Chain A
Amino acid sequence: LDAQVTSRRLAPVVLLVAFLLLMAYVPVPRGASPTIITLSRTGFTDVANLNPFSPEGVYGIYVELYLPFAANAFPPSPEVVPVLAQGWSHSANYSQWTLNLKQGLKWDDGTPLNATDLYYSLQLTNNTFVQGPFDAHSFKILNSTAVRVSFSAPDYHFVEVGLGSTGIEIVPYHAFSKQSNITAFANLQNIVADGPYVLYNYAEGTNPMVFQANPYFFGGKPQIDEAAVYLFSSFSSAINTYDSGQLDALWSNGAYSTVKPLASVQGSTLVQSVPATTLVALMNNWRYPLNTTAFRQALAYATDRVQINNLLNGPFASSSEVPWDMLLPQYNKWLGFSGDGPVSYSTNLTTASNLLASMGLNNVGGNLQYANGTQVSLNIIFNGGSADAGSVATLLQEQWSKLGISVTVTSESSSNEAALATTDQGWQVDVSSNAPMGPVQGPGILAEQSGWQVTDPTTGVNVTLSPNYIGNVTLAEQYPTNSTDFNTYAGSAVTVFAKTVPMIPLYDEFNWVAVNNNFFWGSPTQHTGIYNPQTVASQILWYETMALMHPLAASTTSSSSHSTTSSTQSMTAPTTTSSSMTSPSSAPSTNDYYLYAAVIVLVVVVIAALALSRSRRGHKAT
């Protein structure tokens, strides 16, 4: 039999494949006239809630929309910097605080952003469990930009901890007050916001989310018209997409080894930004032998942090070093310590062995044994989803084995690791960066170290940190930041922390941003744009990319004069009275129609191919 007929029958398939291949070379317009920048968010693919006061609000996105009153920052900035704030003051005994907003602030719909919004947001914060609570007993609007907050007892750290550290977002009273059940409000339609880039409506399942420049942004209308934020479920896919030129910027955090592939992308710059969190070996000090300080100290002496840091952070190792009390070196100096903190455990196996011997543990033929002859063993768990934790756990296994300890390493799923680390069962050491805090920036937020949770199963009390530590922190909080008493108690707290080794801090994981060189992203010397040390909210989730990048210009320049000009322009007061402001588009176009159209096009191509095939056959028959 001849294959002629088969070949003819193959024609529609060949045509369809050819059509798909043709698609590869059809230039697809990337947006119309507006200047668009493409960014990325990893970890999720859908957004269904943008309400900061709902537990389900997607933090990584709503922080773009709602700016806080004040935010934490890293040196050289002060610990707390104003965002919407003009300033703040307190009564002599710190029981009353007056918060002042900047003049002339507006929401993206042109409505004034004033004391009513601040008052309403503070009340919501005080009354909902979602935001970090502060125990204010009353609020009072003083004038259009000022609110007074009163406490029944002095609150010395209200702004730096209560507002700055928690990054409480101010929401529009005229939009949110209409909701009868605030925590059930999804906030996806007719969104009113004040960030540099805003969403007016969002249809679930739309990816990317296309943000518009806010004409009323307090720093001036951003120079880029639109920012398209792609949601990625996998980081490797985001890296590939960035590498292929589809993205203009990619954010990440972790050790340098995580972002190393981004360092070699052509036409791109990789920037190490503010610290994100600290990778630690967390001890389960509820169970023997880890409930013995000498044992934990022995592990500290046996740990070669320099080797681990060098292997994971390569050229950025020196900036990733972390003191044993986990404070930034600048803040250690506040407390009268050297930059390394109150204690240092230089790698010393002899000291480590002596500490173990003092506990009655014997090294028999290279094996560490309890008095009854049982081998001493340790199990290190780590989050299997973390890029670095596995490598670090293996390095620790290697280092601690030198003491004669039998060390095993177990990979756990992210959820299981998180679940285990909040109880006293099923683990001994957890290599984790999945902690509810970043590096402790300054003495004002020392209390955040209590975020490390290992809970006594009977009392529910956090047992990771000693009562002595917690007691000192509580005492420090009774005094204003940087006062003599505060520094004394804070110094005692961090000394206890470092000496009792509830965890071994290994290195600081940083926020990283890879940007293509086609845009001006800010000035490293002026600390603008992506070089801004301001975190706006929790530094571990440094998602405030759009709040930080507003000084952008749409063209490349390396001259410092341009960067200065650019950032200066961006901070110019906005021309909010202009009547020529165009209304934002009302609703996003749904992708469904395009999907259906694509299917129709494919079907039409197949039908056309079939028809062509039949007509050829008919022609041949005649």
Chain B
Amino acid sequence: MQAGRLSSALKSLRSRYNRKYFAVRVADLVIVFFAILIINFILPRLMPGNFAIIFARQLTLEHHGLSYPTVLHTIEKQFGLGTPITTQFFRYLQDVVSLAPSFGASFQYYPADAWTVVFIALKWTLLLLGVSQAIAWSSGLFIGVFLALRKNSAVDRVLQPVFYFLNSIPGYWLGMMFIFLFAIELRVLPASQAYDITPTVLGILNHMVLPVTVLVIITLPSHVLVTRATAIEVLDSDFVLLSKAQGLGRRRILLRVLRNSMLPSLTRIFLTIGYLIGGVITVEYTFSYPGMGTVIGNAVLTLDYPVLQAALYLTSLVILLSNLAADLLYPLVDPRVSYAASEQGGRLL
């Protein structure tokens, strides 16, 4: 019985995809990925300044009496910055295009590997993003449907402009306001860092509250507004009318409405992962939270190319894969979408 169900599920899946579409989509991804690799090398080097000069100045500042030209030469040699840019590029490609991509040692945190620096930060960013987006997306969905059900009611008319207003608030500004209110004035929440002197579960949760709240507030409105608009369309559709005519219960109808309303919001969450990582940078920086944002911010300021490259590589990879996932998951969530019938792409049945 169970085997039969599994087989029919697989058959249903196969009926929604075709190999050619999948291959074309993956090939696109590979081309974009290589373009990103090249840009990832060029962009950090387009920033004004030179790490070797900054580092040499810092060393001569810390240790009087050092010969600046000697220190500069030594640093350029040690970090491979004295070699021609083409040599640096081919070495970079060689290191990156491998099963275990390497970006070399961080300039700022030498001898730590750039990957290590990024991964230490990544877990904190994932914690913030994961919790905040789980709250923002799920509550956005329900609030959106709630407002759609009460279209043009007093609540709807009050909350809509409120969400438009919240949607336009920059995260760092909100972060500063929250710090001022909750950390400095009321002193009920910590102003910065990820935990207290010694890490404890309570401490980590306590330090998460403000940044998570800021991230929820700046991302919730878009989920609410998108879901509301979709839900209004869905509520007006024939199948809802039919469902009512069939005498289905309120809960079942609402579940169908929810399921159909969540699609744009779901797509949005995949497509905005890049924006979210970008948005979290300023929030993390405001709260001195030890995530990717802080690491990228510092790497930009110190011209730490390896860390910048590792962070941008990882971010790009996540965005590419999430876009691919959004594309490929769509038929699973919406039975009307299928990539099987067309050789060129998906179609709406």
Q: B-contacting residues of A (Cβ < 8 Å)? A: 1-7, 9-10, 12-13, 16-17, 20-21, 23-26, 28-32, 36, 38, 44-49, 55-56, 59, 129-134, 161-162, 165-167, 184, 186, 204-205, 207-208, 210, 226, 228, 230, 232-234, 237-238, 240-241, 243-246, 385, 412-416, 418-419, 422, 434-437, 445, 448, 451, 453, 455, 460, 537-538, 540-541, 589, 591-592, 594-595, 597-599, 601-602, 606
Contacts and interface: CB of A to CB of B under 8 A. Distances in A.
Interface in B37-95: 47-51, 53-55, 57, 59-66, 68-71, 74-75, 78
A591 B301 contact: no
Given A28-B206, A49-B110, A134 B189 contact: no
B198 interface: yes
B320 to A, nearest CB: 26
Question: Closest 5 CB pairs between A and B?
Answer: A415-B49, A132-B65, A416-B48, A205-B120, A244-B183
B80 to A, nearest CB: 14
A47 B193 CA distance: 16
Contacts of A437: 61, 64
A538 B54 CA distance: 18
A13 B59 contact: no
B160 interface: no
Interface stretch (B2-10, B20-28, B96-104, B249-257): B249-257
Nearest to A185: B111
Interface stretch (B282-290, B323-331, B336-344): B282-290
Nearest to B288: A237
Interface in B255-314: 257, 285-288, 290, 294-295, 297-298, 301-303
Given A13-B138, A31-B197, A207-B194, A131 B54 contact: no
A10 B145 CA distance: 11
A234 B48 CA distance: 21
B65 A601 contact: no
Contacts of A598: 127, 201, 204-205, 208
Contact of B197 (A4, A210, A233, A541): A210
Interface in B91-146: 106, 108-112, 116-117, 120-121, 123-124, 127, 130-131, 134-135, 138-139, 142, 145-146
14 contacts: A5-B251, A23-B209, A26-B206, A48-B109, A56-B109, A132-B65, A133-B66, A207-B194, A207-B290, A210-B198, A415-B47, A422-B57, A435-B61, A451-B64
Contacts of A36: 197
A240 B179 contact: yes
Q: How large is the interface on B (under 10, 10 to 19, 20 to 34, 35 or more residues)?
A: 35 or more
Q: Which of B55, B193, B208, B253 has the most CB of A within 10 A?
A: B193
A23 B131 CA distance: 14
Nearest to A23: B205
B205 A3 contact: no
Given A129-B70, A418-B49, A460-B69, A31 B188 contact: no
B116 A204 contact: yes
Nearest to B139: A13
B59 A45 contact: no
B191 A20 contact: no
A613 to B, nearest CB: 12
A421 B40 CA distance: 28
Contact of A595 (B110, B142, B204, B295): B204
B184 interface: yes
B51 to A, nearest CB: 7
A422 B60 CA distance: 13
B190 interface: yes
Contacts of A602: 131, 205
Contact of A204 (B68, B109, B194, B298): B109
A325 B235 CA distance: 80
Given A204-B116, A419-B50, A437-B64, A591 B195 contact: yes
A436 to B, nearest CB: 4
B107 to A, nearest CB: 9
A167 B63 CA distance: 8
A103 B10 CA distance: 81
Nearest to B109: A48
B195 A594 contact: yes
Interface of B: 47-51, 53-55, 57, 59-66, 68-71, 74-75, 78, 106, 108-112, 116-117, 120-121, 123-124, 127, 130-131, 134-135, 138-139, 142, 145-146, 149-150, 176, 179-180, 182-184, 187-206, 208-209, 212-213, 235, 250-251, 253-254, 257, 285-288, 290, 294-295, 297-298, 301-303
A324 to B, nearest CB: 22
B332 to A, nearest CB: 22
A606 B250 CA distance: 25
Contact of A422 (B53, B64, B124): B53
A336 B112 CA distance: 52
Contacts of B195: 591, 594
A59 B235 CA distance: 64
Contacts of A2: 250
Contact of A594 (B65, B66, B200): B200
A20 B205 contact: yes
A246 B191 contact: yes
Q: Is the interface of B mostly helix, strand, loop or mixed?
A: helix
A244 to B, nearest CB: 4
B183 A240 contact: yes
Contacts of B146: 3, 6-7, 10
B189 A24 contact: yes
Nearest to B69: A460
B64 A599 contact: no
Contacts of A597: 201, 204
B69 A166 contact: no
Contacts of B108: 44, 46
Given A48-B106, A165-B64, A204-B112, A20 B183 contact: no
A151 B148 CA distance: 87
Contacts of B250: 1-2, 4-5
Of listed B48, B212, B253, B287, residue having the most chain A CB within 10 A: B48
A36 B71 CA distance: 39
A456 to B, nearest CB: 11
Contacts of A413: 47-49
A419 B53 contact: yes
A597 B297 CA distance: 28
A7 B47 CA distance: 51
Contacts of B124: 595
Given A28-B200, A208-B193, A591-B199, A130 B65 contact: no
Contacts of B189: 24
A245 B179 CA distance: 12
B142 A10 contact: yes
Contact of A30 (B49, B53, B192, B196): B196
Contacts of B142: 6, 9-10, 13
Most buried by A among B68, B142, B188: B142
B10 to A, nearest CB: 29
A407 B288 CA distance: 38
A20 B212 CA distance: 9
B135 A165 contact: no
A26 B138 CA distance: 26
Contacts of B55: 55
A232 B179 contact: no
A597 B123 CA distance: 13
A32, A132, A162, most chain B CB atoms within 10 A: A132
A49 B295 CA distance: 17
Given A3-B150, A131-B63, 11 more contacts: A1-B254, A38-B197, A45-B294, A48-B109, A230-B193, A240-B183, A538-B63, A541-B62, A594-B195, A594-B204, A595-B127
Contact of B295 (A13, A45, A541): A45
Contact of B206 (A13, A23, A161): A23
Contact of A415 (B64, B109, B303): B303
A233 B285 CA distance: 8
